[in-house]
Amino acid sequence: MADRIVVTSFGVFSALGLEKEVQMEALTGSRSGLQHPRYLNTVHAPEFLMGEVPMSDSDLADFLGLPVGENGYTRTTLLALVAMRELLKDVDKSLLADHQFAFINANTVGGMCSVENMYMDFIGEESEGPFTKYIDTLDCAESTQNVASYFGLKPWMATLSTACSSSANAIILGERLIRQGIVQRAICGGCDAMSRFTVNGFLSLKNVDKEPCKPFDQNRSGLNLGEGAGYLMLERESDAIARGAKIIAVLSGYCNSNDAYHPTAPSPDGAGAYRTMNKALRKAGLEPAQIGYINAHGTATINNDAAEGLAIQRLFGANPPLFSSTKPYTGHTLAAAGAIEAIFSIWGMNDGLAYPNLNFRIPMEELEITPVQTLQSGLEIKHVLSNSFGFGGNNVSLIFSKA
């Protein structure tokens, strides 16, 4: 039998905090991390709730032992560094020797969070100033290269950007690189700091809710944005056993597929989401009934939840597995969402929990199914499915199984 690819370490940094215990307390205690942003300098701050990581850039730099101030590190990278440090806490660095491992990172707007505040200097008359440290930070690979160099690593590197499914795609790529023997281990995930650019982008699309978002509710009216970073370490089961590593979960199936329908909207009947989940199940060799929990993409936009809900209903029937969206806790962390929610799903599976889908009141007219409303515990969950669907029709489903 082919070697299984397993998860042996993780690091998540979200509006809920950094340590697993703290974030689990929030997820099981129905405590949302959404609030009016304190650090993002946007005119919309008093109006909108966001999942902002509760630390300033200076706090983050200080926490990481970096010089405070214009240090050339963007918030995107700072978030990534904190999550990565958490992951590496229990990892022997010698496992990450040259070319034996890959670092697959993902984000949607690179260092826009810094660039947007300096852009007029970028294109202005002055050619000298602190802003020059940030000129090469706009592109997405900036965080990837800075994370590697901060930790003194020389991995095989790649950076992906497929909107809201970016880091879920990073996990898939890591799995494939290990399976093909290109690398022995891979650290995969993504990072995104909130930026005014992104906030205003979603506002211009008119799909942001001023209230805490209400996934799968009849009266849902959009998403809340968030930020964060999440990374998982993948390796072959045999390698993990050989070094005595604790196996946290098995990555048993996945699918990357495109909706091929519209630049920003899913096919209304959920055909794309259905295809993606169905293929992931087939890849894992599982029947729909074997899935114990679905962490839905569940952005609480009109379109997503209708399409995703219909797809879940079609694939799993009128009595689907327990499902919920954790976006009311963290906000939509965009490129980081796939990895963060994959880890939340794994925690739930291992602890026998299904998190409540906050703010759900009224079932959707077009659906017979409803999400988890109160914390479900003592469950026997063997397999979890985590969905990430993005602009551009970029859909990903991941399936993790108990070790």
Partner 1 sequence: MMKPVYISSACAITPQFSFNPAEFLQPLVSSSDGKLFAAEPDYRQYINPVAIRRMSRLMKMGISSGMRALELAGIKQPDAIITGTGLGSMTDMEHFLKDMIRLNEETLNPTYFIQSTYNSVNGWLAMQTKCTGYNQTFVNRGLSLELSLLDAQLLLQEDEDVHNVLVGAFDEMTPDYFIVKGKVDYWKKSIPASKDVLKYSDTPGTIGGEGTAFFVVSDKPENFVCTIAEVQVDLQPDKELIKTMIRELLQRHSMEPTDIDVLVTGMNGDSQWQPFYDEAVSDFPDSTAVAGFKHLTGEYPTAAGFAFWLATQLFSHQEIPQDVLIKGTSTKSIRNILIINHYILNTVSLSLLRK
The catalytic residue positions are: 164, 297, 332
Tell the smallest beta-carbon distance from residue 214 to partner 1 (Å).
Answer: 23
Local structure of 69: helix, strand or coil: coil
Report the residue from 58, 221, 258, 376 that binds partner 1 according to the rule CB under 8 A.
Answer: 258
Return the closest-CA partner of residue 396 out of 202, 209, 172, 229: 172
The mark string for 169-198 relative to partner 1 (x by CB under 8 A, - otherwise) is: x---x--xx-xx-x-------------xx-
Tell the smallest beta-carbon distance from residue 195 to partner 1 (Å).
Answer: 10
Smaller CB separation from partner 1, 5 or 372: 5
Matching residue, tokens 């650090």? 39
Report the residue from 86, 116, 227, 305 that binds partner 1 according to the rule CB under 8 A.
Answer: 116
Tell the smallest beta-carbon distance from residue 255 to partner 1 (Å).
Answer: 9
Distance CA 280, CA 172 (A): 11
**Site for partner 1 contains 157 (CB under 8 A):** yes
Collect contacts of 178-184 with beta carbons under 8 A, ≥24 apart: 178/5, 178/234, 178/235, 178/236, 179/5, 182/102, 182/156, 183/99, 183/100, 183/101, 183/102, 183/155, 183/156, 184/100, 184/101, 184/235, 184/236, 184/239
CB 7 within 8 A of CB 248: yes
Report the residue from 119, 151, 237, 402 that binds partner 1 according to the rule CB under 8 A.
Answer: 119
Element at 5 (helix H, strand E): strand 5-13
Distance CA 139, CA 107 (A): 9
Task: With CB under 8 A as the rule, give the number of residues binding partner 1.
Answer: 59
Compute how many other C-beta atoms are within 10 angstroms of the C-beta atom of residue 98.
Answer: 9
Report the residue from 163, 286, 294, 367 that binds partner 1 according to the rule CB under 8 A.
Answer: 163
**Site for partner 1 contains 261 (CB under 8 A):** yes
Handedness of CA 205, 206, 210, 213 (dihedral sign): negative
Token digits of residue 209: 């809710």
**Site for partner 1 contains 326 (CB under 8 A):** no
Report the residue from 14, 32, 108, 401 that binds partner 1 according to the rule CB under 8 A.
Answer: 108
Interactions with partner 1, residue window 201-230 (CB under 8 A): 201, 203-205
Q: What is the dihedral of CA 180, 183, 184, 189, to 10 degrees?
A: -100
- The span from the first CA to the last CA of the chain, in angstroms, equals 16
Token digits of residue 252: 């048993």
Report the residue from 30, 35, 95, 122 that binds partner 1 according to the rule CB under 8 A.
Answer: 122
Report the residue from 16, 66, 80, 158 that binds partner 1 according to the rule CB under 8 A.
Answer: 158
Token digits of residue 149: 């160099």
Distance CA 17, CA 29 (A): 14
Smaller CB separation from partner 1, 123 or 318: 123
Residues sharing a CB contact under 8 Å with residue 2, sequence separation 6 or more, in sequence order: none
Smaller CB separation from partner 1, 58 or 145: 145
Report the residue from 37, 189, 309, 393 that binds partner 1 according to the rule CB under 8 A.
Answer: 393
Tell the smallest beta-carbon distance from residue 139 to partner 1 (Å).
Answer: 6
**Site for partner 1 contains 25 (CB under 8 A):** no
Tell the smallest beta-carbon distance from residue 98 to partner 1 (Å).
Answer: 10
**Site for partner 1 contains 154 (CB under 8 A):** yes
Interactions with partner 1, residue window 272-311 (CB under 8 A): 272, 275
Q: What is the DSSP letter of 121?
A: H
**Site for partner 1 contains 339 (CB under 8 A):** no
The mark string for 123-152 relative to partner 1 (x by CB under 8 A, - otherwise) is: x---x----x--xx-xxxx--xx-------
In the complex, which residues of this chain contact partner 1 (CB under 8 A)? 42-44, 108, 110, 116, 119-120, 122-123, 127, 132, 135-136, 138-141, 144-145, 154, 156-163, 169, 173, 176-177, 179-180, 182, 196-197, 200-201, 203-205, 256-264, 272, 275, 390-394
